[in-house]
Homo-oligomer: A and B are copies of this chain.
Amino acid sequence: MAHRVLHFIADFFVYETAKSVVVKSWSVGIINRVVQLLIILYFIGWVFMHEKGHQLRDTGIESAVMTKVKGLGKFNNHVMDVADYVVPSQGGSSFAVITSMVITANQTQGRCPETEDKFKCTTDDNCMAKLGSNLGNGIITGTCLNTTNGKTGWCEIEGWCPAEDDKVSEKPMKEVENFTIFIKNSIRFPMFNVTRGNFPSSLNQSYIQSCHYDPVDHPFCPVFKVGDILRHINQSLDSITDKGGEIGININWKCNLDYNVMYCNPIYFFTRLDAAFENSVASKGYNFRFAKYHQSEDGTERRMLHKAKAIRFEIIVSGNAGKFSTVPFLINLVAALTSVGLATVFCDIILLNFHKGADEYKAKKFEEVSGDVSESANNRHCEGSQMSIKALEKSSNDSGTFSIGRQEAHSSSNQ
Contact = CB atoms under 8 A, between A and B. Distances in A.
Given A22-B15, A388-B396, A180 B280 contact: no
A1 interface: no
Interface in A340-372: 342, 344, 347-348, 351, 356-357, 359-361, 363-372
A196 B279 CA distance: 12
A184 B274 contact: yes
A204 B365 contact: no
Interface in A162-221: 178-180, 182, 184, 186-188, 190, 195-197, 199-201, 203-205, 207-209
A24 B410 contact: no
Number of chain copies forming the complex: 3
Contacts of A159: 72, 79, 81
Nearest to A319: B60
A239 interface: no
A91 B204 contact: no
B403 A396 contact: no
Q: Mostly helix, strand, loop or mixed at chain A's interface? A: mixed
Interface range for A: 35 or more
Contacts of A294: 293-295
A396 B367 CA distance: 14
Nearest to A185: B276
Given A327-B46, A364-B369, A21 B19 contact: yes
Most buried by B among A196, A366, A370, A373: A373
Nearest to A373: B360
25 contacts: A10-B24, A10-B409, A13-B29, A14-B410, A15-B25, A16-B413, A17-B23, A17-B344, A18-B20, A22-B403, A46-B326, A60-B318, A60-B320, A71-B134, A72-B138, A72-B159, A83-B303, A87-B90, A132-B178, A203-B280, A205-B281, A335-B335, A356-B374, A364-B373, A392-B396
